[in-house]
Structure formats: structure tokens, C-alpha cells
A and B are shown apart, each in its own frame.
Chain A
């Protein structure tokens, strides 16, 4: 790619970027959210067209108008948010676009089963995609790219929702693809992954190329400095806090006793306190998300013997989220694209919809002025950066989208805020801002819950750590005596 530029509404998202990819190399593309990584890779994969510059494929100038053109040329992209058809089965999704004139479903299932097994992905090919969790959807997405025998594969945050075991399989797969001569572009916010598995690293900042070099010339700090222009590692994952630095618990605000929901949540009991950040760690499938979705009225607990939830001593049983929101419980989702925002609406409209949902809007009719005031206030508080004021949320970077989702929840004036994977798919700069904001909420006396799969995040943010395993909290640890090993031991044993 030579001098590639892409502008939205006249404002450049990337400017004059040069990028080259060698045959059979793993190339990590790093940068803060909004740095232009996704835009650059979307141009490669034909999802968007560049405004200026040119792309050469095997020495020949190319210009892809659609992803299918890029795929025909051997360039496939696995998106950060999966693009599968939820109502179709895994096998149907794998063969979508390459079906023969007459299809035999059984044959597709058998061939899909064999293919998934060859990749070591434990996914049932007959399962409907809508019933799969995020990790398994990601696996199907990856499998689909491999299926098309692409010679260039672009992975956008492929491991963000995978368990450690699944990540090992994924990186083994990446190495196998490399041996077959496949070139891989690999976007990740987990810097250790990029440093451990890539051959070269390119770093973008604010839509501009900063550096490209062999991975051996980088370490964590140099990468972060290049990404953000400052060293953030000490700011984000600072040294362990002592007992005195931990916040003392306030009043017990939420008491959950033996709640159950099928096999996902089993007799789960815990309490949440004001003025503290309660970190919840668990591997995927441990029931942590489901537990807090029950608390916030998104899921319903078992009808028979489903347990008790008490909010400040008052028994509550929410069937929909609205009464929970009115009671001050806000859940900030891990799946922002599906559950977090209206992607074609503006930032202001999204924030205002949060206000409407809580019934806190002042006017009888939708007030544009109130909407603008609200947007200005929360964009400032959360430092939401957009190219224009009317930018749709889908046009924002992952970090800014996440801030919109957080803002949409916080305009509802909650007393309990539940953040589910608040920094998934978010760059290091935005991580620091989001962490700072979460800490400020707890300092203001709110009860804050942070669900995360990332141990350093849990250990640095939490005032107490709950470990979830097989649908229930099995252990509570204090960050001053917790170690990653202790937490993981409780999570897996």
C-alpha cells in the first residue's frame, strides 16, 4: 500500500500510509483505538475504498470495491465483531457464498465437522450461530477465512474473546498457515501476543504511520511509547496496591443468594458494596456475565427455586431491564455492537436514548436541545472523540464506541454499575481513560462491578476479587494478597 489515505466527511481517518506485507509473514498492526488500523485493513479487504493512494497485489495495482472481490484475489478478513448470520447453522455460515447449486445438508455438516476438527475448534456444525457464545463465533469466523484458502488473512482482535487454551490453538493455527505461505495481518491490543507471535510490527498513531520494524527490535515499553507517545504501562497496570490503598466497603447494596439459571448459573451467592470496585474473574462459560445479566433484568432466573436477589434489603425480581434501571442498576455490555448502541444513530442520540430508557428526560417530547447538552456534557466527561459532531457511532473507533456505551449507561444516574469486559477491543490510551473513569465512579461512592478476563485489569482495578467457576462464585480474594496464580487456580479447579 502506497500513500493510502481514507477520509470520512472530509476528515482523514488515515493519511499517506505506506504498508507492505511479505509472503508467509505474521505482521502485527498496533495502535490506539482510532489510530486507523481497522480502516487500513478494511481497505485491504475491500470493505471500504481508499480516497487516495494505491494498493499493489503481487506487483499489480488493485482496487477492491467489495469484500468478495478481495476474497477472490485471496484476501480475507476476520472482523473484530463477527459478521456471521445468526439464524443459520455453523456449517451453513462456513459455506455461505460458496454453495453449490444443489446442497445436501448432511454432506455440508460432515464436511464442516471434519474441517472444524482439523482446526481443533470444538464447535458443533449443526448449532445455530445465535446460540453460540462469543468465543465460538470467533472460531467460526476464523474457520471461514481459512476455508476460503486465502493467501492474505487479516485478523482484527482475534483473541479478545478466547480462553487461554483456545488462544494456544489459535496461535498454533496461525503458525500452520504461515508455514503454508499465508501472510497474516494481525491486529491486537494484547501487546504480549503481538510481541510473541509476529515477525514484524507496524505501529500507527492518529491515522499516520509511526514505525515498521522486526519484532525483535521492540519490547512492551517501546511499543506503547510508539503507540501513544508516552509510556502508559505504569499508569494502566501499576504496582500492586497495599491494604491501605484499597477502598473500604460501604453499605451492602446488593445481596444475591443462590440464584440459578439452568446450567449456566448454579446457586450463585455474593454481595456488592457501595464505594468499592468488585472485580469478577472467570473463564468464558463460568457464568459471570449471565449472573449479572440476571441481576440487571436482562435474563430471568429459574422460575422454580431460582434464588433471591435483594437490593438494599428489598427482594427484587426483574423480568425486563427497565425496572432495574429505574432502581439504579446499569449493565454495560461486553458485546457493544449487538447490545450496546444504535450503530446508525449519532453519539447524542445514543446518549439520549439512555436517558429515555431510564425515564429521566425532562421534556414531554424529544428535546434536541437537551440531547445536544447531554452529548456535550458526556463527550467531555468521557473524552469521546469523533470526526464530526453528527458522526454515527458505527464510524467511531472501538474505544470511542465503548465510551458511548458507558456514557449511555451513566446518564441513567445509576447506583450500581456493572461493566462487562469494559476494555475489550479498546486501545491502551482508551484503557487508561476508562480505568480512570471507573475508579472515579467508585470514589464517588457508587457500587461498581468489573467483569474481566484479563487478570492484570482485575488485579489493578478491584478492591475485592470474586472468582467465578461453573456458574458460581467459588472464591473471594483481596488484591493485596491475590496473585494471578491464586485467581487462576480458583477459576480452573
Chain B
């Protein structure tokens, strides 16, 4: 084995992707078992507070209708797309915008705005969470790109993300951890204590240590992790917004090719993860992702996928819900558990879904 570690420098490390098996065994639960609660364009950022559930679509913040109500109720419209939301127990809503601002609505801090300057320049709010009523945790995905430019950040192999703690009363922000590869989800009071962050480009969950730095908790995920949400049983829910596949991993290793692709090819057609795929023939044909004899094979490697993972109290996967290559409900970006069911946004599938949860 010592010889291998030496030889690997010369022969190149293998491009390996962890298999989806065990608790991550593929199924069609998101397509077959999940109820479509609402058809809406690119929904994202499900949060709950004060007995209500909110979500965003584009620049709009909306309230999800309760059972028996009519349609969703508009709460607010902003001058930039909403990139992330958080809601405290008392109903204060924090809204992260694509231009870097974080707005606060309701509660004692109503109307307050956290400017990008507080986070050291261009800010990229990708995830927010209230640690308590007066403390907000902010994930800055990147110091170089906006949230909507996530694919550029990935293809640039950036690792300039950070996590901040903001004292809302004092308006002071302190950095908890830096050099993260696109932190895209945060759990404030995580199982086992502390703050847990989904580090997307490194395909892992990490715990932020009190003395600074991070401790890996769950590594080698087969996709790109997004938002985290607390589970009623003390565990958590993890969304993975896109799958890893060998072609993309290969492109990520080939710097010259990637640079040419980014310079010359339209972004929608890059060989890169996507929230949905298959709509345009100009998309790169991904290995076996093409149809043969009219059948799209569910095990085809694809650019987009739907995956929601249930984690136990030790943050180990115990179950998963999939929409496979031939499914429709891809690009799972956020989830919350409420009343023995999980609400899920399929940003790629333009739907908010409801899944029954066994205790």
C-alpha cells in the first residue's frame, strides 16, 4: 500500500464515485410515492415558523397553503431572486438575496438589512439558520460568485466559502469557518451538538469546531449536498441537488478542457451538474443517458437526479428517496418535516412534494 501511495502520483488517481447502495439504494419514491402538493416554477427554500410554511420562487416569497386552503399566498416580492430563507420560532424571516443582501422581516429586527460588506465583500448567501431568536447563521457559498452562479463556482473549483454567526441585536458578524467548498446547507443545533454544514463541492457534511476548523461527519456522498433540515426523531434530512457522475468528475480534473468549455460553450450546455436535464438536444449526451429503443434506463448516468436522504441521530444515512435518471422530480434543494410528512422542493421538477414518513 505504501508503494501505491507513491505510484498514484504518476499513474493518476482513479476517478471514483461512491455507489448508491445500502441506505442510498435507488428507488422511485419521489416519483411514485410523493404527492405533488403544488406545481410551481423552481420552488426552493422551504422553511417553517409560527405554524406556517414558506417557500420562494424567483424573487417571490410565498406561504404554502394549509390543508383545505386555496392557493399559495404571496408574502413579499424582492428586487433580486431569493437565494435562501430561514424562519425563527417567533416568525422572524431572514431572506438571502442573490445580490448578497440579507433582509430580516418580522420580530424585533424587522426591516434590518445585513449588507455584503459585513461578510468581507461580495456575499453569496446560500443557507441561513436561526441558532436562537437573536443569532443567525449564514453560509456564504463563495467569495467570488453569486448563488445563481453556483455552476461557475463549481467549475472554477472554488473553495472560498465561509460560515458566519451574526448577532442581530448588535449587527455584528463573526466568521466561524472559512475555505469551505460551497457550504450550501446548515443545521444550527445539530444532532450531537454544534453547527453542521453541507459542503457541496467536497460532497460531505462537516461539523464546525468551537476552536475553528471543521470535522468531517459524513463523507463521499454520491451527489452534491444542499439544504439540511432537522428531523422530528432527532435526526436530520439532507437534500442532494445533483448527482456526481464520472464524466463531470473527469471534466473537473481536466483544467484546460474545462477552461475552454467555460469560455466557449453556453453555460446551460456545460458538462456540469444540473437541476433538471433532458429538455434540450443541445445538452451534452451523458454516457448511457440517451434513450435506447425508446427506453430511458433508470440507471443511466445523468446530469440531474432527485435525492433526499434521512439521517439518524449520528448523521448516518438510514433511508433515501429517489427520482432516478428517467424520473421527473429532480433538483431537490430543500425539505422540512412537519406533521409526520416531509415537504420537499423539487426545483428541477417545478413542484413541491409531500412524503409520508414512518416514525
A-B contacts, 9 of them at CB < 8 A, read A258-B246, A267-B246, A269-B16, A270-B21, A271-B19, A271-B21, A304-B11, A475-B26, A490-B299
User: Which residue of the partner chain, among A249, A305, A316, A474, contacts B1 with CB atoms under 8 Å?
Assistant: A316
Q: Bound state CA distance, A476 and B4, in angstroms?
A: 31
- What residues of B have a CB within 8 angstroms of the CB of A256 in the complex? 19
Give chain B's interface residue range (CB within 8 Å of chain A).
Answer: 20 to 34
Query: Does more than half of chain B's interface fall in helix, strand or loop, or is it mixed?
Result: loop
Does residue B358 face the partner (Cβ distance < 8 Å to A)?
no
User: Which residue of the partner chain, among B11, B18, B25, B295, contacts A255 with CB atoms under 8 Å?
Assistant: B18
Does residue B267 face the partner (Cβ distance < 8 Å to A)?
no
User: Which residue of the partner chain, among A257, A273, A315, A316, contacts B18 with CB atoms under 8 Å?
Assistant: A257
Does residue B12 face the partner (Cβ distance < 8 Å to A)?
yes
B1-46 interface with A by 8 A CB criterion:
1, 4, 11-19, 21-22, 25-26
Does residue B297 face the partner (Cβ distance < 8 Å to A)?
yes
- What residues of A have a CB within 8 angstroms of the CB of B18 in the complex? 255, 257, 269
- What residues of A have a CB within 8 angstroms of the CB of B13 in the complex? 305
Which 10 residue pairs of A and B lie closest in terms of their CB atoms, listed nearest first? A257-B16, A269-B19, A258-B16, A305-B14, A474-B299, A304-B11, A307-B14, A308-B16, A271-B21, A270-B19
Beyond known contacts A258-B14, A464-B25, A474-B297: 8 more, CB 8 A cutoff: A249-B22, A270-B21, A271-B21, A273-B22, A305-B12, A308-B16, A478-B25, A493-B292
**Contact in complex: A305, B19 (CB < 8 Å):** no
Q: Bound state CA distance, A255 and B219, in angstroms?
A: 13
A465-493 interface with B by 8 A CB criterion:
466, 473-476, 478, 490, 493
| A interface residues, how many (CB within 8 angstroms) | 30
**Contact in complex: B16, A307 (CB < 8 Å):** yes
Does residue A101 face the partner (Cβ distance < 8 Å to B)?
no
A388 to chain B, nearest CB (A): 46
Closest A residue to B5 by beta carbon equals A315
Q: Mark A433-460, 1 if CB is under 8 A from B, else 0.
A: 0000000000000000000000000000
Q: Bound state CA distance, A315 and B2, in angstroms?
A: 11
Does residue A306 face the partner (Cβ distance < 8 Å to B)?
yes
Q: Bound state CA distance, A255 and B18, in angstroms?
A: 8
- What residues of B have a CB within 8 angstroms of the CB of A306 in the complex? 14
A261-303 interface with B by 8 A CB criterion:
267, 269-271, 273, 303
B74 to chain A, nearest CB (A): 43
Q: Name which of B12, B22, B246, B295 has the most chain A CB atoms within 10 A of its CB.
A: B22
Q: Bound state CA distance, A256 and B16, in angstroms?
A: 9
- What residues of A have a CB within 8 angstroms of the CB of B12 in the complex? 304-305
- What residues of A have a CB within 8 angstroms of the CB of B16 in the complex? 257-258, 269, 307-308
Does residue A317 face the partner (Cβ distance < 8 Å to B)?
yes
Asked whether A476 and B246 contact (CB < 8 A) given A303-B11, A308-B14, the answer is no
- What residues of B have a CB within 8 angstroms of the CB of A337 in the complex? none
Q: Bound state CA distance, A316 and B11, in angstroms?
A: 17
Q: Bound state CA distance, A272 and B134, in angstroms?
A: 47
Asked whether A473 and B19 contact (CB < 8 A) given A317-B1, A493-B295, the answer is yes
Asked whether A476 and B15 contact (CB < 8 A) given A258-B246, A316-B1, A493-B295, the answer is no
B18 to chain A, nearest CB (A): 6
Q: Mark A307-335, 1 if CB is under 8 A from B, else 0.
A: 11000000111000000000000000000
Q: Bound state CA distance, A209 and B323, in angstroms?
A: 58
Does residue A252 face the partner (Cβ distance < 8 Å to B)?
yes
Q: Bound state CA distance, A478 and B18, in angstroms?
A: 20
- What residues of A have a CB within 8 angstroms of the CB of B19 in the complex? 255-257, 269-271, 473
Q: Mark B229-259, 1 if CB is under 8 A from A, else 0.
A: 0000000000000000010000000000000
Asked whether A252 and B22 contact (CB < 8 A) given A257-B16, A475-B299, the answer is yes
